[in-house]
Amino acid sequence: MTAIAHQQPAGSALPGTDVAATKPKPDPRYLALRNFALSISVLNVFGYGLLGFEQPYLWPVFALLTAYTTEITLELISAWAYKRRPRFLGGGPRGVYEFLLPSHITALAVNMLLYANSRHWLSICCSTPTIRSCQSSSACSSESPASTFSRRLSTGGCDTS
């Protein structure tokens, strides 16, 4: 009997698989950020709908709009000052979505933890400074928001390196 050897394409791990067809592994930091943003959104809806949070339904919307506006404005100013492209441009809708995830989490957490009652300005004023509390550490960074978030988390806050 003669044995027939089939030659596999270079870089193919299994017979019949194409290297270009394999999906890249998703970034676990992005997945964690996305899941946390989703869970805090669900908790807010659950809290207002079923648990009876006493604040008006519009307060989380105010907090989100303030956080998004602050984050985008400060990123535009930072990009202009350092003569670079804003981080939320270039990735399409997903790039903007990923850029705004930390702001989304911050705004909803601040709104949930503060009881503003009829003082909507409290939610707005407290959401604003929390957005870029560590701006100096990521001003020149071209990192994704997820990697910036995980770096800050691992260093315990602002790192100036």
End-to-end CA distance of the chain: 66
Burial 19-52 (b: 16+ CB within 10 A, else e): eeeeeeeeeebbeebbebbeebeeebeeebeeee
- pLDDT (tens, 9 = 90+) of the chain, 161 residues, equals 555 555 555 555 555 555 556 888 888 888 999 999 999 999 988 888 888 777 778 888 888 998 899 999 999 999 999 999 998 888 889 889 989 999 999 889 888 887 767 666 666 666 666 666 544 444 444 555 555 555 555 555 444 44
Contacts of 99 (CB under 8 A, 6+ apart): 71, 75, 87, 88, 91, 145
